[in-house]
A and B are shown apart, each in its own frame.
Chain A
Amino acid sequence: MSATLQNLVNQPYKHGFVTSIESDVAPKGLNADTIRMISAKKKEPEWLLEFRLKSYEAWLKMEEPTWPNVHYPKIDFQEISYYSAPKQKPKLKSMDEVDPELLRTFEKLGVPLHERMALAGVAVDVIFDSVSVATTYKDKLAEVGIIFCSMSEAVQDHPELVQKYLGTVIPSTDNFYAALNSAVFTDGSFCYIPKGVKCPMDLSTYFRINTEESGQFERTLIVAEEGASVSYLEGCTAPAFSSNQLHAAVVELVALDNADIKYSTVQNWYAGDEKGVGGIYNFVTKRGLAKGVNSRISWTQVETGSAITWKYPSCVLLGDNSVGEFYSVAVTNHYQQADTGTKMIHIGKNTRSTIVSKGISAGHSNNSYRGLVKVAPSATGARNYSQCDSMLVGHHSGAHTFPYIQVANNCSQVEHEASTSKIGEDQLFYFAQRGIDAEAAVSMIINGFCKDVFQQLPMEFAVEATALLSFKLEGSVG
């Protein structure tokens, strides 16, 4: 049983190839001039350069956070290149103009870009290193007034919207990595759903880091106007390098009255090898502002990759009766470390939040859930339900839970449930005795464990997530 599993786990990282495309890479290092260079290259308006420089000033005064339950050597921020763009023709009118090498990369990644896209009915904005390569389905979305484009395009074409919302959910001084991102972000996605529009398809972005020693700092902003709704999917991969790459993204969501934003992530950044060498440092700040009454922000994440994950997709429930949701599966194997969870900040009356977190730790990995439920004095009648389950695989992994609950009124209800379980030899033996091999058994146990989260994912993502999890964990049992 162990031998076959050993082979399976030793399969190389599927997305670990490098595409040989000439990149336009900035010299390593960060100072005000680097930021001016980025801003100039992107032909940005003055206010955005100011936003960046102010963020940079703030960042200089900030300290790297040390409170997460993760350990890594100090990052030298002067050793990172802050801009890397594939060199190609400046404007693309159709997919035919895209560098064929780039398209082959996406094919290898299994990104269903052109025809397959149509069948899948998904609009994809592809981010390669830091620049958005092509946005599909833009025209079709434009018909109903939806803006879905790269952040760079949005800055050029819809500066008033970007200026109105950028940094309003996550101020540039929010934390160390958010400040860094605000200073140097190069691209990302922008999505605007006008009043009363239900987005007719799932919107999707695919991120990939291609260059060694380049950081990826993408910036995503989604705004749903009154009564609008959108489901947004994000997938991430990176090639295998022996050095660590930094990924410090910022995602801001704004939901106005009766609006609904659902944000789903399947994160499969390169996690380093089985000895813990290489891999992505995934230090991400994601927050949604449920600004209007009856608005809803829902985060679903399946985190399987990255050497280190540090992220807490959060909801600020400002509008009365607004709803925040967080559904998470975090899997760590080998020497991966994850410190992830959420914050639910209840401010409006009768606000409700749900947290369902499933952590799976295998190998020598460490998996922490960290969550804050905060109920302000104004949030009368607020309700929260949290459920944090951990599953251990093998004998060397760790699971930790750090729940913080702060309630400042006496008419709210907060519930927290937690459990820890283990995939044991005896469970696998039971399956084997019924003819089921270890691989299928682990897959079934994990799916059972994660089903509360998987059923929140859009169909295609749920299938992908299931396969990804089985793949990640094969060989760690038995």
Chain B
Amino acid sequence: MIYPDSKIVLEVRGLCASVNGTEILKGLDLTVRRGEVHAIMGPNGSGKSTFSKILAGHSAYEVTGGTVMFEGQNLFDMEPEERARAGVFLAFQYPIEIPGVINSQFLRLTYNTVQTHRDKEELDPLEFDDYVREKMKLLEMSPDFLERSVNEGFSGGEKKRNEILQMAMLDPRLAILDETDSGLDIDALRIVANGVNQLAGKDNAIVMVTHYQRLLNYIVPDYVHVMEAGRIIKTGDKELALELEARGYDWVGAECKAASEAAA
């Protein structure tokens, strides 16, 4: 929801980045304030996922220009784990499997690590068990999730739920959802979206990266951005997403090109 005079959570200016020498982001601008829900849409290869990984600090991507401020701090001065502790959360498109590491232990370690860095109390295993089971109800997860290895053998839907469970636990300031809708059947999509909606509030912000309009039926964005060739070329409200669904992406690029030619 858009609040007047809300504080800026994320401010991206002229962000350029490359992977293996190929430039992917070419001057991206974006401002996100507390309380807002943003959707970033765009065709394959437009740089959406790259953008989310750069915010989280993946080492495979090299930032070649521009600035990103998170809550007034230079994001690029922070290691990936520091960003997470400060409240940057990325729900992965493909959550990685970690064989042998029990989910409950992993969840407790991440929870307690983040709590410690926020000067809050850690939970012992029993307290944590109560805490996490409560959060799991939000996502209609069965308790046996806790005893399995992290993401190992999880279905696509289970993996995504596990991501949103972590979001619920870690209470991020900025949550980036990278194609959280991919691989979800309609029931799982509803559950996951419902979880996200309950977590959205006036103190945090959500950036959703997605291909499809259908997620936006469940999580209604305040802003919809269209990304192409490494930049945001058009910004609108939720109606824009419906238009994209009906007409595809090509017209946005053409319109944008015509506008810049007219200006020249």
Contacts and interface: CB of A to CB of B under 8 A. Distances in A.
B13 to A, nearest CB: 23
Nearest to A432: B80
Nearest to A444: B101
Given A433-B84, A434-B166, A437-B81, A444 B106 contact: yes
A435 B102 contact: no
Interface centre among A424, A430, A431, A434 (most CB of B within 10 A): A434
A444 B59 contact: no
B90 interface: yes
Contact of B98 (A1, A430, A440, A451): A430
Q: B interface, how many residues as a size bin?
A: 20 to 34
A451 B117 CA distance: 28
Interface in B99-146: 99-102, 105-106, 109-110, 113-114, 117
Contacts of B170: 434-435
Interface centre among B100, B102, B114 (most CB of A within 10 A): B100
A165 interface: no
Interface string B82-101: 00110001101001101111
A429 interface: yes
Contact of A451 (B81, B84, B100, B114): B100
A97 interface: no
Contacts of A430: 92, 95-96, 98
Given A435-B110, A435-B114, A445 B100 contact: yes
Interface string A124-141: 000000000000000000
Contacts of B117: 435
B60 interface: yes
B101 A448 contact: yes
Interface residues of A, number: 22
Contacts of B56: 429, 433
Contact of A449 (B89, B96, B99): B99
B49 interface: no
A437 B170 CA distance: 16
Contacts of B81: 431-433, 435-437
A427 B80 contact: no
Interface string A415-443: 00000010011110111111111001000
Contacts of A436: 81, 109-110, 113
A436 B81 CA distance: 6
A215 B89 CA distance: 56
B79 interface: yes
B221 interface: no
Nearest to B80: A432
B67 interface: no
B80 A429 contact: yes
A440 B109 contact: yes
Contacts of B80: 1, 429, 432-433
A55 B264 CA distance: 95
Contact of A434 (B59, B102, B110): B110
A448 B84 contact: no
A420 to B, nearest CB: 11
Interface string B173-190: 000000000000000000
Given A429-B59, A434-B114, A435-B81, 16 more contacts: A1-B79, A1-B80, A426-B96, A427-B98, A430-B98, A432-B57, A432-B79, A432-B81, A435-B114, A436-B81, A444-B101, A445-B98, A445-B100, A447-B101, A448-B100, A449-B100
5 contacts: A424-B96, A429-B59, A431-B110, A432-B84, A433-B81
Closest 3 CB pairs of A and B: A448-B100, A432-B80, A448-B101
